[in-house]
Amino acid sequence: MEAMRLSRNDYGFVRVAAVVPRVYPASPDRNIAEMIPFVREAAEKQTHIIAFPELGITGYTCQDLFHQFDLIYAARQALIEFVNAAHGFDVISIVGLPYLVDDNLFNAAAVCHRGRILGIAVKTYIPNYNEFYELRWFAPASRLRTKELFLCEETVPIGNDLVFNAGASAPHLAFDVEICEDGWVPISPGTLHALAGSKITFNLSASNETIGKTDFRTDTLARSRSALNISGYVYVSSTSSGSDGSGESASDLVFGGHAAIAENGQLLGESERFSDKPQLLAADIDIEALMRDRMHMNSFGQCAELTMPQARYVPFQLPWLDAKYE
């Protein structure tokens, strides 16, 4: 009698990955060419969801080039090309880009799957202190008037209130996206999304290196956020300089290419910083354990009840998870 073969999906695990690719500032076509092989690799490793760094399609350090329409439109076209190129892989990809709407430029992240753009998350908090002056180029999510776009021949939701829900294919799998500074404020969008049902927060970042900042990202962001939110937390930041001239460190800031994945306070993995090679950091997050802990810790539900977080739920399906719930 043949033994029954069980996969990690049978036990409620979802495989996620943080990808630190080579980045070439102001070169959208070159950047998506660096991303696509990682989608293929993720599919081969049966990874469900992968995230790339903040503004990964253009690079973070474009500065005043962000106000050039050529770059803005090239980034949008590159997004469409990325979606088409990744069509054959059953992997959800989260990619960052500048997005122009309502006469404002937003720091955004597109959630893509099987030739579709499921939704576009928008950065809520725009830093404008110390070495950051993003308000020179980007508007906060509060200025967004539009709730839906017509993109790739279908209606696509946009905003900072999106929770992506697997629905019947995996009833308890839901995730959200926040962008860099969003995770550094006292009440982060990811926290509100967790109270609205999200189980995994993906933070697309371009965090530069300063003394002590690495520990803050792993301990205060990934570990502490995931513990307080009883969630998974996937953090991915921009690459350092490569020998071929790639990387964000061509500016006056230094980037280390830091990525980290945590689950309910436990660090599951961390990338090598200052590597001149691209990296894919993957880990399995136990969705059913998170659900059980939220049920057990009844004060989590009380907090959600009192907070009444608002969210729009965006459906998607992952066929790899279907078998368990048929």
The Cα 274–Cα 49 span in angstroms is 24
Q: Which of 59-73, 243-257, 307-321 has the highest mean pLDDT?
A: 59-73
Amino acid (1-letter code) at residue 202: F
Task: Give the SS3 label for residue 11.
Answer: helix
**Which pLDDT belongs to residue 242?**
64
Residue 193 has pLDDT above 80, yes or no: yes
C-alpha 35/C-alpha 21 separation (Å) is 7
pLDDT tens digits along 206-243: 988 888 888 888 988 999 999 999 999 999 998 766 65
**Cα–Cα distance between 177 and 162 in angstroms, integer?**
8
Amino acid 325: pLDDT:
37
| End-to-end Cα spacing for the chain | 24
**Each residue's pLDDT tens digit, 298-321:** 999 999 999 999 999 999 987 655
According to DSSP H, which parts of 179-297 are helical?
189-195, 213-215, 226-229, 287-296
The share of the chain scoring above pLDDT 90, in percent, equals 77
Q: Does the pLDDT of residue 3 top 50, yes or no? A: no
CATH architecture of 12-319: 4-Layer Sandwich (3.60)
Q: How far apart are the C-alpha atoms of 86 and 134, rounded to whole Å? A: 30
Alpha helix (H) ranges present in 143-242? 189-195, 213-215, 226-229
Instruction: Give the model confidence (pLDDT) of 128-183 as tens digits.
Output: 998 899 999 999 999 999 999 999 889 999 999 999 999 877 778 999 999 999 99
- Among 199, 213, 215, 217, smallest CA distance to 263 is for 199
The string of pLDDT tens digits covering residues 78-87 is 999 999 999 9
Q: Is the pLDDT of residue 5 over 50?
A: no
Helix axes 28-44, 69-85, angle to 10 degrees: 20
The catalytic residue positions are 54, 123, 180
At residue 237, the pLDDT reads 93
- Binned at pLDDT 50, 70 and 90, residue 266 comes out as very high
Residue ranges per structural domain of the chain: 12-319
Residue pair 162/182 in contact (Cβ under 8 Å)? The answer is no
Under DSSP, the state recorded for 124 is: S
Would you say residue 326 has pLDDT above 50? no
Tell me the average pLDDT of the chain. 91
Q: What is the CA radius of gyration of the chain?
A: 18
CA 11 to chain centre: 24
Give 8's pLDDT tier (boundaries 50, 70, 90). Answer: low
Model pLDDT, residue 251: 65
Residue 322 has pLDDT above 70, yes or no: no
CA neighbor of 56 nearest in space, from 241, 251, 237, 277: 237
Q: Answer whether 186's CB lies under 8 Å from 225's CB.
A: no
In 10 A of CB 215, how many CB atoms?
Answer: 9
